[in-house]
Every structure is written in C-alpha cells, then in structure tokens.
Amino acid sequence: MRADRLVAALLLMQTRGRITAAQLADELEVSVATARRDLEALSTAGVPVYPQPGRGGGWQLVGGARTDLTGLTSSEARALFLLAGPAASRDPGARSALRKLVGALPAPFRADAEAAAAAVVVDTAGWGERSRTRPPLVDTLQDAVVRRRKVTLDYVSPGRGRSRRLVDPWGLVDKDDVWYLVAGTDKGRRTFRVDRIAGVTLSEEAAERPAELELERVWESVVAEMEERRSLVPATVLTDARLLPVLRDRFGRHCEQLEELDGGRVRVRVAAHLPVGVAQELAGFGGAVDVVEPEEVRAELARLGAELLERYG
C-alpha cells in the first residue's frame, strides 16, 4: 500500500542520504514512475525532501535528518501522516508501518501525527452513486480535525435550505469519492456530506472529541443507521457472471451474488430505494439481465420500455 512505500522511501533517504527514483523503484518493486510520484507527493505535502538534478543526483532530505526522524518538524510529520493515513485505514500492514513510525517520532510530535493518521477513513463500498470530484473543502476540514479546532459550517440540506452550525470535527470519510464529515454537535453526533458544505470557518476554540473515539467504528455505526433508514427494495436477477462487476459498480454495497449457475450465469440480489430506482439502474442492461422478482420492478421496467418505445420507436 502507498503508506508503506512513503514510510520506506523516507527511511531509505535517511539511511542512505540520497536515493534516485530508479533505486527506490528497485527497492520497493514498483515502477520508476510510481516511485517518482511517491517522492513528489512527499515533497508537495511539506516533508523536507528535494531532488538534485544531474549526474550523481537523486532525492534527499534537507539537512540529512537522522533515522530517528528528529529531523522532521511537527507540521512535516503531520503532512506525512495525512498522506499515509487513508491507505492505512484499509490495510493492516500499513497501520503497522505507521505505528512504528509514530514510535520513532520525537515525543512532542506524536499527538499531531497520530491525529493526522486517524483523520480519514476510506470506505470503498459506495451507495451506488457515481464517483465525483474531491470537494475543495476536504483539506480545510482535515486540518481542523488534526488541529482539533471547532468549525462553523454553512450547510445546505435538501428540502431545508441553508443553515449555519458550529461543530466539533471528529474525522472525514471517503466513501467511494463521496466525502463525509463526522462531527459532534449540541444534539449529538451528526454526519455532513462535504459537497453540501458551502463554506467553512475555522475557529481557535478547541474542539471536543470523545477520548476513546475510533473513527472506523463510528462510521460503521453511521452506515448501519443509514441503511436502516433507507427503505430498500430488493430484486433478484439472473445475468452473465462477466456483468457482475458492472452491477456492483452500479449498486455499491447493495449487490450480492447469491449463487453460480450453469453456463456462466449468476443469481444476484440488488436493491435501491424504490422499485423505479432498481428498474432505472437495470434498464440499461437490456435483455442481458433477467429480473426474477419482485413484480413491482418488472412492471417498472415494462413501463420504462413502453415510454422509450413510444418516443423512439
């Protein structure tokens, strides 16, 4: 995972003094382009590494920082963990690498580094929505989480309009490119979609955060509550196994393979808010997907087909 590579690249520069992208690629068994991107990412994030061109050049740490990482400032250590943290939320090996790195940091920097590593959780299972562009306010909110500062949100809720709320930011979740802020409010824990936040004002007032908070566990609870509130309509369909990845992309976590059938076919359960929602997602597959049940979804498909036939037939 990228977190392991970033840590390894930093430690290699500390032990060797200087390393080329080709040497790093050979050490980490990745392409030279990947190694170069990792080195550039460290530099862009504020970690004190820089390239030296020409014969005998390469990448090295400013000032020749030692392997105990005392050459890093607090902000530089935080920048490294902001880069590595999202990958670590998905991979036990990356989490282990970050724990080792925390142990090597000077004591005054550990709190910031640990906060940065825990600031973002990555949940790859989507709601069935299309991927979108990373909202520009993610970085500002991430900084507020790490610095533990209250923020005022200008939030636009569907059907409720715009409101202003003072919250304690606990962490961010990247759910298949749909970003959420998990925060504490005067009414308890709340979850805000970042693409609905119109503005953020960072306060100098310290944010309150539960002492034993584990963002991953909190997010699991949020997802469970959301799923319970969503009145999902399940449908059983038959299709070719080769289309299963496409169905999973369309329906996110609401796509489950039930069994394999003869002839390379599979039985799958999909779900959406309403019968028309299931039908709209399946209509594009034409005859490649056969809806077994329920009848409500079959009826919606017939209605959609009739509308298209009337307009284009």
Residue range 271-280: mean pLDDT, rounded: 89
Q: pLDDT class for 124, splitting at 50, 70, 90?
A: low
Full-model pTM = 0.48
Q: Rounded to whole angstroms, how far apart are CA atoms 81 and 102?
A: 9
For 58-79, the pLDDT digits (tens) are 887 765 444 344 455 545 555 5
Q: Rounded to whole angstroms, how far apart are CA atoms 30 and 224?
A: 38
Whether the pLDDT of residue 93 is over 70: the answer is no
Whether the pLDDT of residue 99 is over 70: the answer is no
Residue 47 vs residue 207, higher pLDDT: 207
Whether the pLDDT of residue 279 is over 90: the answer is yes
Q: pLDDT class for 33, splitting at 50, 70, 90?
A: confident
Enumerate the H helices of 148-273 as residue ranges: 215-229, 244-251
What is the percentage of the chain residues whose pLDDT exceeds 90?
A: 24
Residue 196 vs residue 96, higher pLDDT: 196
Strands (E), 126-244: 149-157, 161-175, 178-185, 188-193, 197-206, 233-240
What is the pLDDT of the chain when averaged over all its residues? 77
For 140-186, the pLDDT digits (tens) are 888 888 778 899 999 988 777 888 989 999 888 887 778 889 899 98
Q: pLDDT class for 269, splitting at 50, 70, 90?
A: very high
Residue range 75-84: mean pLDDT, rounded: 52
Q: What is the CATH number of domain 2-117?
A: 1.10.10.10
Residue 63 vs residue 93, higher pLDDT: 63
Domain with CATH 2.30.30 in the chain: 138-229
Domain with CATH 3.30.70 in the chain: 233-312
Q: Rounded to whole angstroms, how far apart are CA atoms 152 and 177?
A: 23
Most confident of 130-139, 156-165, 239-248: 239-248
CB 145 within 8 A of CB 168: no
The whole-number pLDDT of residue 226 equals 73
With respect to CATH, is domain 233-312 assigned 1.10.10? no
Domain with CATH 1.10.10.10 in the chain: 2-117
Residue range 192-207: mean pLDDT, rounded: 90
CA distances from 94 to 3, 83, 138, 276 (A): 6, 12, 22, 42
Architecture of domain 138-229: Roll (2.30)
